[in-house]
């Protein structure tokens, strides 16, 4: 059994009086890829954002590497270095070049030397095929390029877990593939632990070890992905999968 990296226990989330997440329980082991699926508004993004403190949760517990997370600002700031996150809108810092975007975290947060950080950045950029863009500003890049660099920026901190929040949802169709291939390679080559919110069912089926199926803030299924896509446990999940097909 691989080591458990992250565990969520009885997590509840309210916006004002409205409850968004209900008693969410799950855990993820090292190297595992978890796909968070479900209809729009089911709470997938809220859940994934709770995992690195961008959303506060109302009750419940988070454990990282077996340690209970005390949700203070300082603790989150520490733990975010271990949990990389990539968003739907490719949010490179528009005032910084590609290189500066990537080295900002390693230098300022992890206090690495500049030359060390530049080395990491160059190596990672080479890997995603963008080594020529070190001095480019984000506005000069395509969406797909920006998203690949956003992934690199997160990886530069050497995270233990990566969170992907609908990272291909606002890309042009022909850009999607390049980004998904990088994510897949991360899992296959680096054995990266990942939680992925996506609407690309084919991709989820290929990459995920397990699927969490959410609806209205409830986890309806927590199923190995092979089983989920072939023979879901719940009627609702089957309907959902059916609706995603053409």
Please work out, in degrees rounded to the nearest 5, the angle formed at the alpha carbon of residue 33 by the alpha carbons of 177 and 227. Answer: 95
CB 170 to another protein: min, Å: 11
Q: In the complex with another protein, which residue's Cβ is closer, 67 or 170?
A: 170
CB 181 to another protein: min, Å: 22
Instruction: Identify whether the C-beta of residue 109 lies closer than 8 Å to the C-beta of residue 83.
Output: no
CB 54 to another protein: min, Å: 6
* Residues with Cβ within 8 Å of residue 42, at least 6 apart in sequence: 214, 215, 216, 217
Q: In the complex with another protein, which residue's Cβ is closer, 94 or 135?
A: 94
Between strands 161-165 and 193-197, the pairing is parallel
Q: In the complex with another protein, which residue's Cβ is closer, 82 or 236?
A: 82
CA distance 105 to 102: 7
DSSP 8-class letter at 69: P
Bridge partner residues of 162 (DSSP) = 84, 194
Q: In the complex with another protein, which residue's Cβ is closer, 124 or 150?
A: 150
CB 105 to another protein: min, Å: 4
First-last CA distance in the chain = 38
Q: In the complex with another protein, which residue's Cβ is closer, 163 or 180?
A: 163
Interface residues with another protein (CB under 8 A) are 52-54, 73, 76-78, 80-81, 84-85, 87, 89, 91-96, 104-105, 108-110, 150, 153-154, 157
Distance of CA 55 to the CA centre of its chain: 14
CB 221 to another protein: min, Å: 28
Q: In the complex with another protein, which residue's Cβ is closer, 111 or 189?
A: 111
CA distance 94 to 118: 19
CB 141 to another protein: min, Å: 15
CA distance 45 to 122: 31
């Amino acid at each position: 059994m691989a080591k458990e990296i992250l565990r969520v226990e009885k997590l509840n989330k309210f916006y004002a009086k409205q409850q968004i997440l209900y008693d969410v329980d799950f855990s993820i082991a090292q190297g595992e890829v978890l796909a968070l699926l479900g209809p729009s508004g089911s709470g997938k993004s809220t859940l994934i954002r709770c995992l690195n403190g961008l959303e506060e949760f109302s009750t419940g517990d988070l454990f990282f590497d077996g340690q209970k997370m005390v949700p203070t600002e300082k603790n989150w700031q520490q733990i975010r270095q271990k949990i990389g996150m990539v968003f739907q809108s490719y949010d490179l810092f528009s005032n910084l070049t590609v290189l500066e975007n990537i080295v900002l975290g390693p230098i300022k947060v992890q206090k690495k030397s500049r030359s060390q950080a530049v080395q990491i950045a160059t190596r990672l950029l080479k890997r995603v095929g963008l080594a020529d863009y070190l001095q480019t500003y984000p506005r000069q890049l395509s969406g797909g390029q920006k998203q690949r660099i956003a992934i690199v920026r997160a990886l530069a901190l050497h995270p233990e877990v990566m969170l992907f929040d609908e990272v291909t949802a606002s890309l042009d169709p022909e850009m999607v593939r390049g980004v998904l291939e990088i994510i897949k390679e991360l899992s296959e080559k680096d054995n990266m632990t990942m939680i992925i919110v996506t609407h690309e069912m084919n991709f989820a089926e290929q990459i995920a070890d397990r699927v969490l199926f959410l609806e209205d803030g409830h986890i309806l299924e927590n199923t190995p992905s092979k089983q989920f896509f072939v023979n879901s446990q719940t009627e609702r999940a089957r309907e959902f999968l059916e609706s995603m097909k053409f």
